[in-house]
């Protein structure tokens, strides 16, 4: 896996490599700059928190700091907050710096800082699991770098995408992006931070190849990283030995894994011990040392050296008290389960297996949204949206020009009329009027052509959306079927494998449902080939209630339906109207708590049918109420049992109700429940 320490060092590169440029707005206060250098040395010695307090106090005491000073200050603090897991503070820092930059002319230096702090904010959002927002800021960083033709700054964007792909276990794609970042870095001015960035990239490329079993390629990049580190050790003055020794120790641990795969266990042990002895020192990459101890313990178990395995695992357990690490603790429980099983202590083995299973399930659940997101698709969508925004702005500008042209045409017409009145229809005025009419007709044709082109583009977008949704459904349906087959033979699988297959089935089912929603959302409800028919609304509602009762009972809920004494008949698209009722009722189940009731009421008011669906669930927050009917809205939330939302159901329902000349609205209070009202004419 990628090492936390070296990721943090690379973040230092992002902040510092674009600074120190001696242009008017980037000049620095010598005293403040000297204090930051002292803080960096204090951090290198393992006293990062003390260094952060010192810098925060100093910043409050200095007045009239330049943009260069602020950049160094925000950059230093961002690294400390990210290292401490205080991602909200990192986001506030980035927002503050971006607000500060908005007061400066967008020079190449200022544009470069925009790129840096867009990336910083994206990193913090990604760490919080806000992947969609993170991709937006990564894209802003890339776009800003491209606008400034600063190829060097593009390395940050490629690096961020590579890290995402690596965490998604798309190792081949990650290696390509890491190499791309390395190529961009060759175009940057040489300094210590760039040196540190390159050695990490070489190591990361090796990790990618190791993960896909290309051990020769992995070893080549590990050796390149070691050679590069040794070549530059001591080149940059004022740096403590730890900043050179720590990354070298990280690479030793990674090389050991290659030797382990090749069954060269003695060499692997030596490299693991060498790496651990270096990085267990104060101020070094202690978390990396813990990970290498875990791998060494695994190697001892592989070679049946139970004594050394137990001693190593005991050391890790002691270190976890002072340096909590969820991933290390997960692997520790797994190895303790395997060790106890080999040692014959079945009770301890069971306890560790149970603890490992629970932690692993939580770990997989937390990573599910990351694994399911398609970073490449997100980036392509952002690029398309950017182009659409440009087209929209062009269209708005064209409309503005057309209005001005129309006003000018009206004024010209008034002038012509005045001339005509004064000159009694002279030949000259008739010619001018004819020319004016010709111009107006040509403008009309131009407008009609523009409108036709816009309509064609909209039709193309709808057709593409339907095609993509339709083509995606078949392979996803196949995945669901294969998962069902595997589950039918679950006696051949262990508990962890059954859990993984269930996750695959759940994710695929959700994707299949989303594809169906997209397909239906792209259709024009009002132009359906299916004619309306006279339907007994009582029976329609009753069947929907009966259909969803089993879903409600799974959450120990009760659906209470009230119908009028007489049957209500209305002319509707039967299947479409059933879809609306099912959508609203399914949402009520999704967002209601266990052991609760959901009330469905049918009534006729004059010439309109009214269906009311009321629950006492979590309600809708005030800030997202205006967006709940939007297609692909960000207002979607998981249900009370973790049900996955798609954000299309209410949008589709609104289209259907409008196609019936009806209305749909809701009343909701957060924490107390929601009531949806559906109305449509009895005879349309």
**pLDDT of 168-207, one tens digit each?**
788 999 999 999 889 888 888 888 888 888 999 999 999 9
Specify the pTM.
0.49
Q: What is the pLDDT of residue 128?
A: 82
Which tokens in the block code for residue 373? Answer: 């997101």
List, as one string, the DSSP characters of 414-460.
HHHHHHHHHHTS-HHHHHHHHHHHHHHHHHHHHHHHHHHHHHHHHHH
b/e map of 404-431 (b: 16 or more CB within 10 Å)? eeeeeeeeeeeebeeeeeeeeeeeebee
Report, as ranges of residue numbers, the positions in the chain whose pLDDT lies below 50. Answer: 1, 3-25, 390, 524, 526
Q: What are the residue boundaries of the structural domains of the chain, listed by start?
A: 1-127, 376-521, 527-681
3.40.50.1970, 3.30.565.10, 3.30.830.10, 3.30.70.270: CATH of 527-681 = 3.30.565.10
How far apart (Å, rounded) are the C-alpha atoms in residues 106 and 181? Answer: 25
Residues 549-575 pLDDT 10s: 888 898 899 999 999 989 999 999 998
The pLDDT score that the predictor gives to residue 461 is 55
Whether residue 328 contacts residue 290, with contact meaning beta carbons closer than 8 Å, is answered with yes
| pLDDT reported for residue 472 | 61
Look at phi and psi of residue 383 and say left if phi exceeds 0, alpha if psi is from -120 to 50, else beta. Answer: alpha
Token pair of 621 as six digits:
């927050």
């Amino acid at each position: 896996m990628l090492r936390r320490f070296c990721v943090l060092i690379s973040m230092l590169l992002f902040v510092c490599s674009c600074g120190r440029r001696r242009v008017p707005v980037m000049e620095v206060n010598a005293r403040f700059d000297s204090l930051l250098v002292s803080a960096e040395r204090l951090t290198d010695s393992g006293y990062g928190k003390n260094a952060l307090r010192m810098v925060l106090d100093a910043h409050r005491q200095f007045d009239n700091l330049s943009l260069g000073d602020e950049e160094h200050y925000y950059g230093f603090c961002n690294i400390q907050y990210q290292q401490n897991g205080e991602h909200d503070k990192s986001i506030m820092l980035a927002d503050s710096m971006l607000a500060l930059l908005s007061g400066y002319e967008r020079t190449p230096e200022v544009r470069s800082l925009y790129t840096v702090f867009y990336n910083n904010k994206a990193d913090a959002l990604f760490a919080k699991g806000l992947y969609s927002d993170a991709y937006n800021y990564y894209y802003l960083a890339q776009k800003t770098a491209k606008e400034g033709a600063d190829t060097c700054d593009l390395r940050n964007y490629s690096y961020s995408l590579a890290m995402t792909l690596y965490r998604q276990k798309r190792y081949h794609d990650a290696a390509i992006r890491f190499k791309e970042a390395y190529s961009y870095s060759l175009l940057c001015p040489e300094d210590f931070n760039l040196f540190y960035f390159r050695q990490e990239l070489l190591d990361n490329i090796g990790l990618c190849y190791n993960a896909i079993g290309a051990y020769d390629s992995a070893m080549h990049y590990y050796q390149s990283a070691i050679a590069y580190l040794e070549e530059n050790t001591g080149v940059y003055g004022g740096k403590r030995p730890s900043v050179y020794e720590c990354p070298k120790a990280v690479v030793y641990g990674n090389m050991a894994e290659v030797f382990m795969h090749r069954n060269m266990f003695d060499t692997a042990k030596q490299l693991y011990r060498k790496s651990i002895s270096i990085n267990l020192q104060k101020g070094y990459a202690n978390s990396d040392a813990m990970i290498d101890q875990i791998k060494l313990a695994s190697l001892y178990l592989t070679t049946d050296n139970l004594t050394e395995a137990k001693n190593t695992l005991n050391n890790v357990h002691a270190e976890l008290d002072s340096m909590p690490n969820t991933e290390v603790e997960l692997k520790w429980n797994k190895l303790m389960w395997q060790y106890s099983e080999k040692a014959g202590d079945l009770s301890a083995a069971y306890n560790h297996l149970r603890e490992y299973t629970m932690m692993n399930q939580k770990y997989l659940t937390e990573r599910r949204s990351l694994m399911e997101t398609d970073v490449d698709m997100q980036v392509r969508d952002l690029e398309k949206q950017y182009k659409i925004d440009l087209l929209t702005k062009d269209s708005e500008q064209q409309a503005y020009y057309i209005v001005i042209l129309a006003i000018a045409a009206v004024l010209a017409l008034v002038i012509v009329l005045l001339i005509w009145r004064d000159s009694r229809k002279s030949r000259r005025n008739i010619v001018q009027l004819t020319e004016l009419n010709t111009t107006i007709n040509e403008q009309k044709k131009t407008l009609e052509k523009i409108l036709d082109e816009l309509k064609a583009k909209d039709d193309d977008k709808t057709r593409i959306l339907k095609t993509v949704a339709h083509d995606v459904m078949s392979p996803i349906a196949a995945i669901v079927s294969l998962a069902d087959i595997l589950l039918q033979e679950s006696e051949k699988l262990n508990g962890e494998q059954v859990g993984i297959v269930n996750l695959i089935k759940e994710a695929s089912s959700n994707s299949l449902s989303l594809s169906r929603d997209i397909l239906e959302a792209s259709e024009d409800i009002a132009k359906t080939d299916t004619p309306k028919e006279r339907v007994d609304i009582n029976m329609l509602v009753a069947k929907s209630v009966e259909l969803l009762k089993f879903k409600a009972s799974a959450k120990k809920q009760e659906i209470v339906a009230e119908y009028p004494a007489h049957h209500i008949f209305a002319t509707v698209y039967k299947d479409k109207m059933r879809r609306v009722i099912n959508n609203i009722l399914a949402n009520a189940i999704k967002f209601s708590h266990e052991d609760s009731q959901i009330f469905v009421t049918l009534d006729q008011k004059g010439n309109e049918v009214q269906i009311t669906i009321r629950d006492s669930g979590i309600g809708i927050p005030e800030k997202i109420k205006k967006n709940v009917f939007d297609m692909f809205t960000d207002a979607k939330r998981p249900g009370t049992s973790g049900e996955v939302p798609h954000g299309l159901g209410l949008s589709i329902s609104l289209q259907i109700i409008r196609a019936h000349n009806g209305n749909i609205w809701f009343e909701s209070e957060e924490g107390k429940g929601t009531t949806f009202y559906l109305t449509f004419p009895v005879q349309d």
